[in-house]
């Protein structure tokens, strides 16, 4: 299946021209120009190599992709019944994705989820503003890329199960407030072995953040330009992402209006505290091609600069580029003509795809 390399990347010369302005082509590879998002500590940070382009229950349930109206979430553009839920901090929780950490719990209720590479597998950053989960996990440790993604969110609180001291210092340096393994907000569950058994309750994490005087302010402005799916979007029934040997597929399900996730050919599921399972499903997907490099002894993703971008919703896809000047802003999505790509409102799963691998999109 991976032999089909994305038709859209090959078919549109205009996109290659747009990217060429910020990409240096060297020996058939693409080296993305560095900007402020590149962590500079510790001193052992390595230079990026050349690359080639080829919970269950929540207190607030979220609707699928819908139109804008009234008070809407800054994270996913969805209408919110209680506007006060938007006038509070973003809480982010790092989620384990080791095989022993599956199935997950609670992430299906998040406002947004970011999937990014760590050592040999991916991990998730679950993001909570208008929503909460009383059974979320497993929780895992922080990595250098985290601070480049969360700096935009106006001093958020970030729950992790630890990290090397220099990584924690890096995260704190951009105004992110860390929460570790605290009681009663985090706890170990039976039936799983450590370190893949740490779970949490976001309501209790918020209480802890309040007790520690973490700022409790909303983000300034929306993450994306929200709007309806473009009429010129192309049909897409399935999309496959290769996270360096971790093949993730999302299949459009017309009945539910959701993209259904599988990993390695098996359904990705969440399980409630009552042991009820369901497949991970999100109405909106955003995929961003990013360069991989190393910070010290840890892998990282370069999240500022420019690269290919894809927005999936309603069984369709729009492709273009992302741009991000520095980590204080968010990703700007544009088509080949420089027109902003709007993201349909809905819970959104954001995938940071290593740009040495392929994206395969199958039409309907």
Domain residue limits, the chain: 2-54+224-362, 83-211
Q: What is the DSSP string of 30-90?
A: EEEPP-TTS---STTPPPPPPB------BSS----S----SSB-TTT--B-S-GGGGSS--
Q: What does the angle CA 67 – CA 131 – CA 177 come to, to the nearest 5 degrees?
A: 120
Q: Please give the C-alpha separations between residue 294 and each of 48, 133, 145, 285, 291, in angstroms, as whole numbers.
A: 7, 33, 10, 26, 10
Report pLDDT for 222.
93
- Name the CATH superfamily housing domain 83-211: YerB-like (3.50.90.10)
Report pLDDT for 107.
98
Kindly state the tokens that stand for 135: 């059974």
d(C-alpha 316, C-alpha 283), whole Å: 11
Residue with the two structure tokens 């990026």: 48
Q: Which residues of the chain have pLDDT under 70?
A: 1-70
Report pLDDT for 5.
36
Kindly state the tokens that stand for 333: 């999505």
Report pLDDT for 6.
41
Report pLDDT for 10.
37
pLDDT digits (tens, 9 = 90+) for 256-312: 999 999 999 999 999 999 999 999 999 999 999 999 999 999 999 999 999 999 999
d(C-alpha 354, C-alpha 287), whole Å: 10
Sheet strands (E) in 189-296 = 198-200, 234-235, 238-242, 247-253, 258-263, 266-267, 269-271, 277-279, 281-282, 284-295
d(C-alpha 134, C-alpha 203), whole Å: 7
User: CB neighbours (10 Å) of residue 195?
Assistant: 17
Q: Strands 316-324 and 234-235: what pairing?
A: antiparallel
Q: Pick the closest to residue 94 from 175, 208, 179 (CA basis).
A: 179
Number of H helices, E strands in the chain: 5, 24
Kindly state the tokens that stand for 291: 């360069």
């Amino acid at each position: 299946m991976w032999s089909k390399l994305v038709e859209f990347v090959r078919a549109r010369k205009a996109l290659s021209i747009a990217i060429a302005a910020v990409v240096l082509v060297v020996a058939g590879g693409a080296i993305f120009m560095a900007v402020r998002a590149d962590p500079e500590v510790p001193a052992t940070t390595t230079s990026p190599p050349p690359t080639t382009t080829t919970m269950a229950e929540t207190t607030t349930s979220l609707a699928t992709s819908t139109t804008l109206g009234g008070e809407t979430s800054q994270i996913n553009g969805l209408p919110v019944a209680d506007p006060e839920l938007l006038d509070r901090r973003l809480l982010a929780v790092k989620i384990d994705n080791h095989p022993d950490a599956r199935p997950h719990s609670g992430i299906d209720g998040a406002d947004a989820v970011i999937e990014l590479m760590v050592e040999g597998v991916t991990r998730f950053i679950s993001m909570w503003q208008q929503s909460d989960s009383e059974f979320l996990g497993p929780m895992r440790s922080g990595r250098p890329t985290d601070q480049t993604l969360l700096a935009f969110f106006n001093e958020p609180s970030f729950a992790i199960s630890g990290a090397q001291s220099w990584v924690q210092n890096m995260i704190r340096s951009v105004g992110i407030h860390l929460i570790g393994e605290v009681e009663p907000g985090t706890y170990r569950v039976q039936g799983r072995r450590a370190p893949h058994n740490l779970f949490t309750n976001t309501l209790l994490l918020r209480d802890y953040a309040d007790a520690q005087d973490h700022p409790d302010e909303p983000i300034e402005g929306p993450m994306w330009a929200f709007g309806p799916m473009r009429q010129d979007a192309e049909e897409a029934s399935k999309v496959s992402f290769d996270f360096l040997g971790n093949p993730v597929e999302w299949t459009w399900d017309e009945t539910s209006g959701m993209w259904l996730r599988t990993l390695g050919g098996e359904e990705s599921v969440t399980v409630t505290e009552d042991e009820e399972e369901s497949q991970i499903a999100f109405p909106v997907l955003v995929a961003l091609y990013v360069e991989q490099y190393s910070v010290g002894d840890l892998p990282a993703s370069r999240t500022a600069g420019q690269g290919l971008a894809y927005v999936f919703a309603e069984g369709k896809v729009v492709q273009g580029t992302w741009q991000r000047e520095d980590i204080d802003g968010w990703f700007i999505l544009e088509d080949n003509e420089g027109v902003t790509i709007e993201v349909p409102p809905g819970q959104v799963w954001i995938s940071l795809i290593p740009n040495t691998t392929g994206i395969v999109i199958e039409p309907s």
